Amino acid sequence: MKAWQRWVHAPQTSKFRRVLFQVHLWLGIAIGLYILVISVSGSAVVLRPQFSRWFVQSEVNPDAGPLLAGTELQTRIAEVYSQYTIQDIIPPRGTRRAVYVSLIQDGEETGHYFDQYRGVDLGNTYPWQVRTVEWLTLLHDDLLMDRVTGRRLNAIGGGLFIVMVLSGIVLWWQGRSRWNEGLQIKRVSSHSFVWQLHSFLGFWSLLLLFVWGITAIYFAFPQPFEAVIDAFDNDLADFERPDGWLLFMIDLHFGRFRGSWPWLPYLWVILGLLPAVMFISGFILWYRRVLKKSLKF
């Protein structure tokens, strides 16, 4: 049987496939923790704007009571924040915006929003929920390092991730007679549920996984991408660059589609966890086939 016939009908017997499987396996083990961290933090970052709206109350109702202003406002703020040193009071620009109050306690500066109609504190302008999301953003974007180093490491991770994705789609092929395995999860199958889940998610999320890897490289090294765009349009004075494909990939990376459905960010939170699920399912398969057997001896 020729090599191409072996690949079409019985790829499991191909030496190339066995080598590729080892590459896929050891890459997954080597960068698995990185994938897990980037996947979980990326999902959380998608809801960054929502966290600010949920946990930072900066709007007020003008009909809730008489407007406090001048000395009366300052007196009421002093009463509410008596345990703080009031550093500054910044009036709002609109009737529905709260007053910003800069406070100091134990040498530490904080900001609070104050309702000038009800005379009550609305809470910290930078609560722990928002701080947590901001920390996850730094973790996802720069790995808690400086911008250049963190993004370059992410580019390396993105490149290795692309190798995993491409090798995985090649390994997905089970032969001509079993071409549809991995396209769906069956109740009755010769493969375990975890194997089916790993193959199913890997196939149907191929485009998104590939985009995440490519854009991770772009964020650190945009110059090669810009050079490709310039090759198609070297007239920089026309302000019309053929970069729609790149902008689309960036929007796919963040799940950022302007004027679209409000539920889309929540879908992207779920999709963002796909690499984590792929790693966990792959680890379980490796544990069952290799690690569990070796631990018996």
Query: If one looks up domain 57-125 in CATH, what number appears?
Result: 3.10.450
Residue with the bigger pLDDT between 71 and 239: it is 71
Q: What is the pLDDT of residues 23-41, one digit of tens each?
A: 999 999 999 999 999 999 9
Q: What is the pLDDT of residue 232?
A: 78
CA–CA separation, 165 and 162 (whole Å)? 5
Out of 29-43, 186-200, 222-236, least confident range: 222-236
The boundaries of every CATH 3.10.450 domain in the chain are 57-125
Q: What is the pLDDT of residues 161-184, one digit of tens each?
A: 999 999 999 988 887 777 777 788
Out of 60-74, 98-112, 224-238, 243-257, least confident range: 224-238
> Please, what is the end-to-end C-alpha distance for the chain in angstroms?
38
Q: What is the pLDDT of residue 258?
A: 65
CA–CA separation, 170 and 19 (whole Å)? 12
The per-residue DSSP string of 66-100 comes to: PPP-HHHHHHHHHHHTTTSEEEEEE--SSTTBPEE
CA atoms within 13 Å, Cβ hemisphere of 210: 10
Q: Indicate the DSSP class of residue 263.
A: T
Q: What is the pLDDT of residue 181?
A: 77
pTM value is 0.85
CA–CA separation, 20 and 37 (whole Å)? 25
Out of 36-50, 150-164, 225-239, least confident range: 225-239
